Structure 1
Amino acid sequence: MENNGIPQNLIDRINELAKKKKTLGLTAEEKEEQKSLRETYLTMFRENFRSHVEMLQVFDKTGKEVTPQKVRDVQREKGLRDD
């Protein structure tokens, strides 16, 4: 099962190590694993967030599209816009 594109087993292991750190402490290997897992999580989170932002279209109250030009350019590059 995935949580917003992040595998649940990755989240579970991060949480498991965090809990152990608070109670028993971590070995050097576990500290290194925790660091690596957090970096992986952040990389995946950023990719997922970027993907969501690239899919957004923003409209004002009158219905006029006001999506930032930078986002529109990225959408065009990825073939997500026809205009």
Structure 2
Amino acid sequence: MLSQEKIDRINELARRSKTTGLTEQEENEQHELRNEYLAKFRSSFKSQLQSVKVVDPEGDDVTPQKLEKAKRNNPHYRS
């Protein structure tokens, strides 16, 4: 994830945008920080999903084939 410093800056800019407003430079910074945050969040979430194994009540693996294929294509995945 992002460093705490960057998260704090995102929050500071969000507060200021609601109260006093932002300069054009600050708006650009806010946009860039949000995009970076979202990219890291999506990557982390995708990684979490690829570690899921779906099991039915009888204990059989019923993980969707699309997920299995994504796991096989992920160079960081270890089965």
TM-score, length-scaled by structure 2: 0.87
For residue 40 of structure 2, what is the aligned residue in structure 1? 44
Structure 1 residue 80: Cα displacement? 2.4
Whether 2:25 is the aligned partner of 1:29: answer: yes
Whether 2:62 is the aligned partner of 1:62: answer: no
TM-score, length-scaled by structure 1: 0.83
For residue 71 of structure 1, what is the aligned residue in structure 2? 67
Instruction: Give me the CA root mean square deviation.
Output: 1.3
Structure 1 residue 75: Cα displacement? 1.7
**More strand per residue:** 1
Structure 1 residue 12: Cα displacement? 1.1
Q: SS at 1:6's partner residue?
A: coil
Q: Deviating runs (4+, > 3 A) in structure 1?
A: none
For residue 15 of structure 1, what is the aligned residue in structure 2? 11
Distance in 2 separating the partners of 1:66 and 1:9: 42
Distance in 2 separating the partners of 1:22 and 1:9: 20
| 1:11-41 per-position Cα deviation (integer Å, ceiling 9, x unaligned) | 1111100001111110010000000011101
Number of corresponding residues? 77
Gaps of 5+ in 2: none
Gaps of 5+ in 1: none
